[in-house]
Structure 1
Amino acid sequence: MFKSFYTKVFVNYWNPYVAVGLAGVLSAFYFALTGTVWAVTGEFTRFGGHLLQFFGVDISDWAYFNLVTMNGTTFTRTDGWIIIGMFVGALITVLLGKNFKIRVPQQKRRLVQAFIGGLIAGFGARLALGCNLAAFFTGIPQFSFHSWIFMVTTGIGTYLGVKVINTTWWRGKPNLQRKKPTLSNAVPKQAKNSNIQVYLGIGIAFIFAIILVSYVANGKALLAAAALFGAGFGILIERGQICFTSAFRDLWVSGRATMTKALAVGVGISVILTFIFLQSGMEAVIKPAAPSTFIGGLLFGLGIVLAGGCETGWMYRAMEGQVLFWVVGLGNITGATILAYAWDHLGFYSVLTEGWPKLNLIEAWGPYQALFGTMAMLAAWFFLSNWWEKHYRYGKGLTVPEKDTYIVKPAVKQ
């Protein structure tokens, strides 16, 4: 019985609807507890700022770093512990499932492509003032209109990305290798049932728990909560294989919409819970609906397809030992840092963001109208994705089946 339970939890991947639904619940309660939101690229931007400071660059007058605030370190900020927790949570479940393995792509050009894609995605996310998490799991539930702009343009960007990765010059020549037959290849080896990864996963979980307890004991309960929620998010994205890249890319490639529909459900759950918290007096986090949102969404969608993973996707895949996604993460930080420079030094803010309004749907439509309107748009997203899945065919595009027609032949006279 225990073995069956262990297999279901740590070996088999979870139903996407369950994983994404739980992520929606956690996101809403994290907001209720801390007043902040589930997001990652803001902290990645701070990583870039700290690296610049390490190399002696004075960033005190960079407007973007002042916007995201550089106070403290990763270990003294809730956003920092959210990310640490996500990495740790994903790594623990990877190890408990014995899924960790260092993997390097055969085509080394993929490493360059991953960095370029990560850079574009990081730049676009910060231009829009938030990545997919800040838009889908926080922006839409917070009733910030900018999130809908970001969602639509991300979809368009992923479509463009699919067009790029399907070109011959991007894919390159396949790297085919012929292995000489040997005795070891001819006779399959018995799989080693090593429990080293399991023991390591348990050990990391134990150490992480000790850190959380020590933080609570030293009056740092908020940081401990952020780390705990982060670990929960990390477990969910790894066990549910939650990746926004596949959610959009699969629509254009194969028509598969399972993750897309699961996201609509999970965000809907978060909307309802967050609405309750907002009505209790909490203040919503609203971002400008500006040209920067539109352009940032396009770049983000394009970048995540070129890279092969979004913020959640590359994080859990990196913990699986896939070197490609370590490079994607480095590209993300680089892109976010470049945007931080361009924000005021190249006039991006004054041209693309300054003066554009922060549109709160609750204030614009009224509380319950905003709730019903948002849920209606999410329902439309779900059913449109479902329709697309039924009618899209790989290599053919949309194929709407024709109604059966019957030819009635005249009766033959006897």
Structure 2
Amino acid sequence: MTWQTFKQQFLIKFWAPLPAVIAAGILSTYYFGITGTFWAVTGEFTRWGGQLLQLFGVHTETWGYFRLIHLDGSPLTRVDGMMIIGMFGGCFAAALWANNVKIRLPQHRIRIFQAVLGGIIAGFGARLAMGCNLAAFFTGIPQFSLHAWFFAIATAIGSWAGARFTLLPLFRVPVKLQKTFTATALRAQPNRARRRFRLGMLVFWGMLGWSVLTAMKQPKLGLAMLFGIGFGLLIERAQICFTSAFRDMWITGRTHMAKAILFGMAVSAIGIFSYVQLGAEPKIMWAGPNAVIGGLLFGFGIVLAGGCETGWMYRAVEGQVHYWWVGLGNIIGATILAYYWDALSPTLATRWDKINLLNTFGPFGGLLVTYLLLLFALALIIVQEKRFFRRAPAPAAQTSEENT
């Protein structure tokens, strides 16, 4: 295979979602096994919000939530922070390879409203449930935490409500037609594409060098950044977005991304199981109302905003300004939850048990239950797909009726 063929097939073209999501599941498993932590982003975004408030004299280090997730250091000294920096770098390099970086402004002010409000709701819900789409789906479920199943079911319901809500006339942006008198030829601008590809390679090798140099002094931080680069490449090149996975099931009937995510979790689960049997401690959170309420809010919020944590990150570095607002909303919403955590957590979270399926059903029983639940979820997705297209009117039949 020549360099040009490799470049076109694997660096410029989008990747198929199924193998990319499975690769993300494998990568998240090794990330857990090697670093001892898990693939998640909203916890670190919440710390960013807390430390920004500290700059204005707010003593967020005294808040219960920040005592729980720790506010020490900076993104450059925290494992989660370095991983997220790596993710942004990986996303940016991948977008440059494909010449997919361009400033794109929101089409209408209502889109900015959706982005900020949806981001706030999603950020608040994710932190209330102690997990976003990554911390619940690619961490909680493969790590056998019951709270993640509560969150997943509630997210699906919330996304259905969000899909219905965003179809209201309020959110229908009028299309502006512009009259033209001459046809304008499309220009591929190959020179610009080549320059951006080279810049993308510079970013990629620069991030790799940074991670290696860091690993020589602080191995865990350097490895976290290295994994982050891999996560970033995967989500941008395969356009992995949990929002589209949920929203498309209800609006267009497409379920390919949702199925891919299930297979990714299935692959991750067996890897996590192996590490747990070797003595690694899985991340188990409270299986209380916080997981359900948080999931409902998160599902509604990501559809209203148009992007989840992975979705807004790679779209933001591609230059889609809408998702800058989504990210800002996420940080605001997560920080609001941190402020109210001491009031909400005794009733909604900390009084409830942390239920590990491996402890409840035994090691192999918990693994079997997890796979049975994943299989049941796959069956529900297939049923929804068939139901959607069975209800959709056939275009040919509709046209025939109109001509009669």
TM-score class normalised by the smaller sequence = over 0.9
2:119 aligned residue: 118
Match of 2:185 in 1: 188
Q: Distance in 2 between matches of 1:395 and 1:50?
A: 50
Moved more, 350-359 or 117-126: 350-359
In the TM superposition, what whole-angstrom CA distance separates every residue of 1:246-276 from its partner, at most 9, and x where no partner exists?
1111110111110011011000000001000
Cα deviation code 1:84-129 (max 9, x no counterpart): 1111101101101111111012212201210100010000000001
CA contact (8 A) 1:86 1:233 kept: yes
Cα distance in 1 for residues equivalent to 2:209 and 2:40? 25
Contact 2:110 2:171 in 1 (8 A): no
Aligned letter for 2:52?
L
Report the equivalent of 1:364: 360
Q: 1:385 aligns with which of 363, 381, 390?
A: 381
Structure 1 position 244, deviation (Å): 0.7
CA shift for structure 1 position 2: 2.7
Distance 1:135 1:20 in 2: 15
Partner residue of 2:15?
A: 14
Q: Could you tell me how far apart the structure 2 residues matched to 1:394 and 1:12 are?
A: 33
Structural mapping, 1:12-411, within 5 Å: 12-171=13-172, 173-182=173-182, 186-193=183-190, 194=192, 195-217=194-216, 219-344=217-342, 347-393=343-389, 396=392
> Contact 1:251 / 1:389 at 8 angstroms: preserved in 2?
yes
Q: 2 CA distance for matches of 1:246 and 1:72?
A: 35
Q: Supply the distance in 1 between the matched residues of 2:130 and 2:162 (Cα, whole angstroms).
A: 21
Displacement of 1:354 in angstroms is: 2.7
Q: State the 1:56 CA deviation.
A: 1.0
Runs ≥4 residues deviating over 3 A: 394-397
Q: Give the corresponding residue for 1:411.
A: none
1:168 Cα deviation (Å)?
A: 0.4
User: Residue 318 of structure 1: SS of its match in structure 2?
Assistant: helix
Distance (Å, rounded) in 1 between the aligned partners of 2:108 and 2:230? 34
> How many Å separate the matches in 1 of 2:390 and 2:73?
50
Instruction: Give yes or no for contact 2:125–2:293 (8 Å, CA) kept in 1.
Output: yes
Post-superposition offset of 1:178: 1.2
Q: Secondary structure at the match of 1:76?
A: coil
Instruction: Measure how far apart 1:53 and its partner are.
Output: 0.4
- Matched-pair contact (CA < 8 Å) for 2:51–2:60: no
Higher helix fraction (1 or 2): 2
The 2-side partners of 1:65 and 1:315 are apart by 23
Pick closer, same or farther for the CA change 1:188–1:289 going to 2, 3 Å: same
Q: Distance in 1 between matches of 2:61 and 2:9?
A: 50
Q: Is the 8 A contact 2:207 2:229 kept in 1?
A: no
* 1: CA distance, partners of 2:101 / 2:109: 21
| Uncovered stretches (5+) of structure 2, i.e. residues with no partner | 394-404
> What is the aligned partner in structure 2 of residue 402 from structure 1?
none
Structure 1: where are the runs of 5+ without partners? 398-414
Q: TM-score, normalised by structure 1?
A: 0.92
> Which entry has the higher C-alpha Rg, 1 or 2?
1
Q: Give the secondary-structure state (helix, strand or coil) at the position aligned to 2:58.
A: coil
Q: Distance in 2 between matches of 1:156 and 1:384?
A: 13
Q: State the 1:395 CA deviation.
A: 6.8
CA distance in 1, matches of 2:378, 2:349: 31
For 1:22, the aligned partner's letter is: A
- SS of the counterpart of 1:38? coil
Percent identity, aligned pairs only, is 49
How far 1:139 moved relative to its partner?
0.5
Superposition TM-score, scaled by structure 2 size: 0.94
Does the aligned pair in 1 maintain the 2:26–2:271 contact within 8 Å? yes
Counterpart-to-counterpart distance in 2, 1:312 and 1:364: 32
Say which SS state the counterpart of residue 62 (structure 2) adopts.
coil
Query: 1:205 & 1:273 partners in 2: Cα distance?
Result: 28
Q: Distance in 2 between matches of 1:179 and 1:316?
A: 34
Cα shift at 1:223? 0.5
Deviation (angstroms), 1:394: 8.6
Give the number of aligned pairs. 390
Distance in 2 separating the partners of 1:9 and 1:226: 24
Map Cα deviations across residues 267-318 of structure 1 (whole Å, 9 max, x no partner): 0000001000000111111000011111000000000000001100111111
